[in-house]
Structure 1
């Protein structure tokens, strides 16, 4: 090791997160459960494809009324 090497820097945020994880070891499981509740879902690709094919293109001037 070089004599000029500085100790590894850790920001205040990193130190806080590391301290939080050591004080609450169940935090990782709670985060994974929350993610599974909102984000980790099975996607039916055929249903989404049907939905996208059924969309109608939006007109360029949405708020302009037709003068016809």
Structure 2
């Protein structure tokens, strides 16, 4: 599929907004990464603890108030 030059230079309003936001605040991406590091990028996962957690999982009954069916 071929695009005309008009389509090749097209930028949506959202893209224009983000580009202007980054131009006004060049440290924006660095501050976003720092914020992510505060909340999400934590210590490595303990695989043994994760395996113990999965092994100790107990399935819930379809209807929790029903007596257990044997």
What TM-score bracket applies, with the shorter chain setting the length? 0.7 to 0.9
The aligned residue for residue 5 of structure 1 is 5
Number of matched pairs: 63
Which runs of 5 or more structure 2 residues have no equivalent in the other structure? none
Cα RMSD (Å): 1.8
Flag as ranges the 4+ runs of structure 1 deviating above 3 A.
Answer: none
Which runs of 5 or more structure 1 residues have no equivalent in the other structure? none
* TM-score of the two chains, using structure 1 as the length reference: 0.77
State which of 46, 49, 67 in structure 2 corresponds to 1:47: 49
* TM-score of the two chains, using structure 2 as the length reference: 0.76
